[in-house]
Structure 1
């Protein structure tokens, strides 16, 4: 079976499509059913439960596809033996969960008890936590098959996924291999975009599910974080290689909004989101988030807005004055101070012995990440932290609360990034780019501009496909809502996606 699969042409938008269409053992499946089986994560699981396809067939197809696409540097650890063993168990006795037999991937900073959790950094290359992170465990209990751990920007400290650790390498965008996949959850995004899986888990601190989703034509959710406690939708405290306990969250990613909604429902136990009609729905369109755009990306976003307006959506052109200035008072003081305490807490909870924060910092391979950790170990933002967390962050949250209330908007809608994917920089890991032929600007600051403020405010955000540029690169559209509006965002996302469609598969 493995040799047969590795020889077949699996270059479709889903490895499962290739399996259902090509394997002789599936000859009993009608052509119509073959096209229906892999159209969504829920239908794949339903097909496994109905014995129209086996978990083993899906798993071997996903592994073969992953091996075929090694040059994209999608995986740090491919879980061949473990995935096959789980598939066999599901086919024999466990095929009754919401995700029965569904291949998924997990970002390699999320704790897994039977696979290493490296964070994509040399000091943790052999790190083995003792427990699964709760969000990952819920997928597993629902019958998901973990195909492997995906590559990421080293230690998740960046948005390009240009990981320069020797065992990782830069994640490449399947729409143009010379360009970044976005980050830090780039490996998960590319595994989805190339059809290895339909969905999986990433993490998001300042845009790390949404930016790679935007740049690869996929979907990424940053769940509500709020002020923690009951406002935090996913609770994986000390079970993910950390940046900031205030900002970090696991987030589901998928080929479609329905795939993401399914994972969210499994993780939270909440009802599955259903589409919410757009007619009469009010979307804020702040000038701050719509300004300074790459011309090709702007054309895609304007066309998307026109389509949504034709469907009855109402756009409210009200700005959020001072948004970026207020965000700057929160962002680095929180993200570059909290790791000082959060890393030791993660190491202790994970029972990873004889490794310290200093050890991790000393062995970092990517120059951009090493620079960030220089600021962390020197506690460069220590003096600003208390003001950031007790004064400036609440002020930022109030700006959003006031905006939603005063403008009576259901959500804010804007371009996820202000430019399509820039070129990979294998020297620094995150270098410079130009917008519309202008002067060089930092890739990190530029690409995170629109996603970072909502992250710091703790509100949920969903990035989905808006369209393709004239140059053939995907563009992402994001909708943000008040804390706790995650299901509503998914419901609106389902309706937006029905109008705008899904990305065409990459030609790889």
Structure 2
């Protein structure tokens, strides 16, 4: 895997790595840059972990639920000792990462962001994490999330609201808010999140980083506290598409020879249903990005996915709310947590999550079996076939649209509603509007940053591809990322 990208990208990586180390700001290194520096003995894993621990400090913006600095430093020392032996190194050797706290990490609590599970300590890594550790990765800690992954703000009443990397008064997005904020704030080069309806892509976009929701089923989901086995998937968050591609290679075993496609040969579908009714600053940055890509040779194709979006809206909540009752209960029992679904509901701390469990999961508003069955056997297949037809009929490489309709909003005022173009709209429904349909279809989605608003807040561009086109989608992402301006780090960094 060491020869992972083309020689040109490797040369750029080397230059960037040396520049970052010359400035003594090794916390800004990407995964590829840091891995190269460690392998070439220009940097030790201990130096990198120590720098990240120092940068994290005591005021962590509620990014972590468990910050395992001692464990990470011990693992870094072992990694450095192995480098000295000259033994073969994995592609992530000595690289510190963060892990969303609904993903099992051996010996560390896996709370799911909820009080009932605060004392559950899994004995084994979730398989997706085990693959990263086998490649040499080190776990810095377990990151905060929207309670039980049932929301998009990460305003967690039990463990605190996660602060946005670019403005601590704004939410980090969710549900993988802690991972998104940690990577965005340069507290870690990469991490793992999970995505049911946008929970990797939304916090990635709002914190100015890249995130991948793989085709559903492409990554192992065992060892992850579930919502819906039909919709859930783990996904990586990092600061470059190249890093996502490397993490994807490690997790899936895909060939490591990925290269950017030529922009002159790609066709991007622009769906008005998702590109319209966004904030003025989101529209400005999205339009500028499309103009840049079109001038670089990409072909923009107006497409209509209105029917697919409408069908996904009908199917999405019934699938998730019916399956959580089955899948979460089975998980709690299988892993001998000593906690029941009723315990989860009784101890839920966040008002929005407690309402969902008391009323929509265990209460008299629970999804009837026949509604769930219709969603799975009729609506979801129509969404999947509709997307496939749109991609095929228009010969598209990807759909392109703003990841979220507006940037991160104030923690203090946005639990229920936010303002979009002068109208008060539901926070949750608004922020998942563009990401949720692909989740129902089970297709891959990639988000990358396209710039900052006039208030200094990141905006993301999402690319959705046909099912199982993950590697091609990453190749498209590499090309688009190279054509767009470099995303500036948060000003505090």
Is 1:145 aligned to residue 138 of structure 2? yes
1:401-427 superposed Cα distances (whole Å, 9 cap, x missing partner): 11011111111011001111111147x
Tell me, which stretches of 5 or more residues in structure 2 are unaligned?
1-15
The answer to whether structure 1 residue 44 and structure 2 residue 34 are counterparts is yes
> Alignment RMSD, CA only?
2.0
The unaligned stretches of length 5 or more in structure 1 are 1-15, 22-30, 226-231
1:20 Cα offset (Å): 6.8
Q: Which residue of 2 aligns with 1:366?
A: 350
CA distance in 1, matches of 2:27, 2:436: 37
Do structure 1's residue 400 and structure 2's residue 400 form an aligned pair?
no
Aligned equivalent of 1:117, options 105, 110, 113: 110
Equivalent positions of 1:340-379 (< 5 A) are: 340-352=325-337, 354-374=338-358, 375-378=360-363
Confirm or deny that 1:59 pairs with 2:52.
Answer: no
Q: What TM-score, normalized by structure 1, do the two folds share?
A: 0.89
Following the alignment from structure 1 to structure 2, what is the Cα–Cα distance between the partners of residues 131 and 416? 34
The C-alpha deviation readout for 1:68-118, integer Å capped at 9, x for no partner, is: 542x11100001221111111111126711101111100000011111000
Is 1:255 the counterpart of 2:239 in the alignment?
yes
Shift of 1:174: 2.4
Could you tell which deviates more after superposition, 314-323 or 208-217?
A: 314-323
Equivalent runs, 1:159-178 vs 2, <5 Å: 159-165=152-158, 168-178=159-169
Q: Which residue of 2 aligns with 1:183?
A: 174
SS in 1 for 2:462: strand
**What do the CA deviations read for 1:207-264 (whole angstroms, capped 9, x no partner)?**
0000011111100100001xxxxxx210123x11110000000000001111111111
Question: Where does residue 334 of structure 1 map in the other structure?
Answer: 319
Deviations 1:175-209 (A, max 9, x none): 22221111101110111111111111010000000
- The partner residue of 2:220 within 235, 239, 243 is 235
Q: Deviations over 1:130-166 (max 9, x none)?
A: 211111011111111100000100110000011111x
The one of 66, 75, 82 aligned to 1:86: 75
Q: Using the TM superposition, give the Cα deviation of residue 35 of structure 1 relative to its aligned residue in structure 2, in angstroms.
A: 7.8
Mark the CA change 1:47 to 1:309 in structure 2 (over 3 Å): closer, same or farther.
same
Cα 1:139–1:129 change in 2 (3 A) is same
* Contact map agreement 1:425 1:431 (CA 8 A) in 2: no
TM-score, normalization by structure 2: 0.92
Match of 1:220 in 2: 211
- Aligned residues of 1:36 and 1:43 also touching (Cα < 8 A): no
Q: Is the 8 A contact 1:107 1:150 kept in 2?
A: yes
Of the structure 1 ranges 414-423 and 369-378, higher mean CA displacement relative to structure 2 is found in 369-378
1:321 shift after superposition: 3.0
Residue pairs, 1:491-506, within 5 angstroms: 491-506=475-490
Contact 1:38/1:44 (8 A) holds in 2: no
SS of the aligned residue for 1:176 comes to: coil
What is the rounded CA distance, in whole Å, between the counterparts of 2:399 and 2:33 in structure 1?
31
Partner SS, residue 88 of structure 1: helix
Pairwise CA distance, 1:123:
0.4
CA contact (8 A) 1:46 1:100 kept: no
User: Structure 1 116/449 Cα, relative in aligned 2: closer, same or farther at 3 Å?
Assistant: same
1:200 aligns with 2:185: no
Q: How many residues align?
A: 469
Residues 136 and 337 of structure 1: CA distance in aligned 2, closer, same or farther (over 3 Å): same
